[in-house]
Amino acid sequence: MNTGSALKTFEWLSRVQRTFQYNFGALMAELTHESTVHCHKAYGGYKLFKENEDPIVKRVESANNTPSILSFFHDKDGRKYMAIVNNSQTESDYFTYYFDNSVKNIYRIAWGGKEVNARENDVCNRYSMTDKGSQNSAWLAPGQMEIFRLEF
């Protein structure tokens, strides 16, 4: 094995892990997992997301049908969180997820674990609300995860 390439791989993985820990580590340590579904293609025995079956997320789209993962959590105060992950190793894509009209507000967990209101000036996402519910869109790189706190 070339030690130079192994060192570069370690440095890259170390940077990714530190970024994840900085952004989501404290929050994830406090959350309780509720459920996980795969969208567009299921792997590892996970359930495949079906439109209008989930009480919160009604539909998930991606521009190129790239697979994604939705996971739901709650904190000790009962607040609900959703994580979406681009489940491709090679393809970036634009994902849109449509929420039931019971979801009144969405907060993206941003750099350093800060919450950003998706309805207001969130440059990383596109949020809109209709009489049928709200929707939020985000461009995700391969393996990228976004976490949102959902307010009802």
Condensed to tens digits (0 to 9), the pLDDT of residues 51-97 reads: 999 999 999 999 999 999 999 999 999 999 999 999 999 999 999 99
Most distant pair of Cα atoms in the chain: their distance: 58
Condensed to tens digits (0 to 9), the pLDDT of residues 92-124 reads: 999 999 999 899 889 999 888 899 888 776 666
Contact in structure between 98 and 106 (CB atoms under 8 Å): no
Q: What is the CATH number of the domain that holds 41?
A: 2.60.220
Contact in structure between 95 and 138 (CB atoms under 8 Å): yes
Domain of residue 83 covers 3-151
Question: How many structural domains does the chain have?
Answer: 1
Helix, strand, coil share (%) of the chain residues, nearest 5: 20, 45, 35
**DSSP code of residue 3:** H
Looking at the chain, the whole-number percentage of residues with pLDDT higher than 90 is: 63
Instruction: Say yes or no to pLDDT of 136 above 60.
Output: yes
Predicted structure pTM score: 0.86
pLDDT for the residue 20: 83
